[in-house]
């Protein structure tokens, strides 16, 4: 039920002079339930809040859309409303800032309009604060694309004394904002806590659709942020058949809008929250070197993010699946090889992982370079399933038939002497593992300690090392 306090009738003179003389260009809708298509609330008309079921004792989450090509509200908006409304443990007022007439313009004009819309959002929030005592700290703005910068402008118009609680930027627009000063785009100063998800920073026709630079307290870069699995340009031909000339738009939209779906996923799959990790860049992340959660180095992507504002923007990385639920489980593997041949070897390996819950078979491992001598390799592996605690690794040297035939010929024909193959192949000492989601570290040793050699087409079983507990506790950097 709606709850409107007795002090409701009070109005701000400052807002009256600013806004009652001109008609608001932004339409504000409130959603009573997840099936609702919205009820319009109007500045300085208290009855509209009552009619639309506004509850001033609950927080307000307001969605702000971006630039539009066709002048229509996109489907994801209704999905987001439903996802926010389906949180019985955390009931909220859900609103939408509909600025379609100002967004359905040439892009540069729509960009110019973002400040006006931000001002109108701020005017509404100030009115709610003064008329129904809704503290701005209980407001969460979720802005997509240009809407992310609208949210930022709204926050800056509110000022420091009436700071908005949280702003989430979903793939904030890049063109005309990349490299801009903090006052001209979304920035950490605009709310008590700002988080951003970057999903399509790859350049298209000289411009990146989403902004690359950090703009928040926590900036999340799923899959590196440049593109998303399932949204490759290889899909373009399929999209041409389905959408005709809209194909390129659809292909770009897939990665750009992925930010929205990752955020909704955190609402719809509360038991499968995605963890992201502080890292300098994607290359380091893919080596598995960034799976630490110490001192706030990891955080939860989406609605349930841990809100810890700090001075400098933190860049966090993670991998995801191509569809919902997007969560994967991150592991770092460190393997030390000794090449006992004189020539570099460029093998392909597979690993099968046996956990207490599930088994994942034949995961391909590519080292990216030849094994020349004694070297330790570090790489990231992700699993779609929670396999539980890892208890066994099956490591196999996969090779082409040609390699195998050569190997067999060498073994049978060439007279190696009394001890054939004693200085050939690879020596595989230990496999060290760190699980990102549980922060557990493990060291695995060959089940057959008398034969550490690994040959083409051979599979070796590794189990947790029984001795050397100090070694298993050693940090994986």
Q: Which residues participate in catalysis according to the annotation?
A: 145, 171, 256
Distance of CA 282 to the CA centre of its chain: 13
33 is in an annotated binding site: no
| Measured distance CA(433)–CA(335) in Å, rounded | 9
Distance of CA 432 to the CA centre of its chain: 27
362 is in an annotated binding site: no
Tokens at residue 364, please? 């391909």
Strand partners, 12: none
Tokens at residue 129, please? 């604060």
Q: Which residue, among 217, 115, 212, has the nearest Cα to 157 in the 3D structure?
A: 115
State the Cα angle at 436 between 293 and 255, rounded to 5°. Answer: 100
**341 touches 370 (CB < 8 A):** no
Residue carrying structure tokens 């996802």: 83
| Measured distance CA(192)–CA(246) in Å, rounded | 39
Q: Which residue, among 386, 396, 477, 476, has the nearest Cα to 432 in the 3D structure?
A: 476
Q: How far is CA 268 from CA 79, 223, 262, in A?
A: 10, 21, 10
Distance of CA 450 to the CA centre of its chain: 45
Binding residue positions: 185, 190
Binding residue positions for Ca(2+): 185, 190
């Amino acid at each position: 039920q709606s709850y409107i306090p007795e002090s409701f009738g009070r109005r701000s003179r400052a807002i009256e002079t600013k806004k009652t003389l001109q008609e608001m260009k932004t339409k504000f809708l409130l959603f009573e339930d997840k099936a609702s298509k919205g009820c319009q609330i109007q500045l300085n008309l208290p009855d509209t809040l009552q009619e639309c079921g506004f509850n001033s004792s609950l927080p307000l989450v307001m969605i702000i859309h971006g630039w539009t090509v066709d002048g229509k509200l996109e489907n994801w908006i209704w999905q987001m409303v439903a996802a926010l409304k389906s949180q019985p443990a955390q009931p909220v007022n859900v609103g939408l800032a509909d600025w379609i007439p100002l967004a359905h313009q040439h892009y540069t004009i729509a960009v110019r309009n973002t400040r006006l819309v931000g001002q109108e959002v701020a005017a509404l929030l100030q009115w709610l604060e003064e008329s129904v005592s809704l503290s701005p700290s209980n407001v969460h703005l979720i802005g997509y694309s240009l809407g992310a910068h609208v949210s930022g402008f709204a926050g800056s118009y509110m000022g420091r004394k009436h700071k908005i609680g949280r702003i989430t930027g979903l793939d904030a627009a890049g063109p005309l904002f990349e490299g801009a000063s903090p006052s001209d785009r979304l920035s950490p100063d605009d709310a008590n806590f700002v988080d951003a998800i970057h999903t399509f920073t790859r350049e298209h026709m000289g411009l990146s659709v989403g902004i690359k630079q950090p703009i928040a307290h926590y900036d999340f870069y799923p899959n590196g942020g440049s593109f998303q699995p399932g949204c490759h340009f290889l899909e373009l031909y399929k999209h041409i058949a389905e959408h005709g000339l809209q194909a390129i738009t659809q292909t770009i939209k897939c990665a750009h809008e992925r930010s929205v779906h990752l955020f909704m996923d955190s609402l719809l799959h509360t038991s499968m929250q995605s963890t992201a990790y502080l890292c300098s860049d994607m290359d380091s992340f893919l080596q598995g070197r960034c799976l630490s959660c110490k001192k706030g180095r990891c955080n939860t992507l989406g609605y349930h993010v841990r809100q810890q504002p700090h001075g400098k923007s933190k860049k966090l990385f993670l991998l995801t699946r191509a569809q919902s639920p997007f969560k994967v489980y991150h592991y770092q593997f460190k393997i030390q090889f000794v090449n006992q041949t004189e020539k570099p070897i460029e093998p392909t390996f597979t690993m099968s992982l046996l956990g207490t819950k599930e088994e994942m078979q034949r995961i391909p491992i590519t080292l990216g370079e030849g094994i020349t001598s004694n070297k330790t390799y570090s790489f990231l592996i992700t699993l779609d399933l929670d396999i539980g605690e890892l208890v066994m690794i099956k490591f196999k040297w996969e090779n082409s038939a040609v390699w195998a035939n050569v190997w067999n010929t060498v073994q049978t024909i060439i007279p190696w002497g009394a001890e054939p193959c004693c200085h050939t192949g690879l020596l595989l000492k230990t496999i060290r593992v760190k699980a990102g989601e549980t922060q557990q570290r493990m060291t695995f040793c060959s089940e057959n300690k008398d034969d550490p050699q690994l040959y083409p087409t051979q599979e070796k079983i590794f189990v947790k090392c029984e001795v050397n507990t100090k070694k298993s506790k050693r940090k994986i950097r």
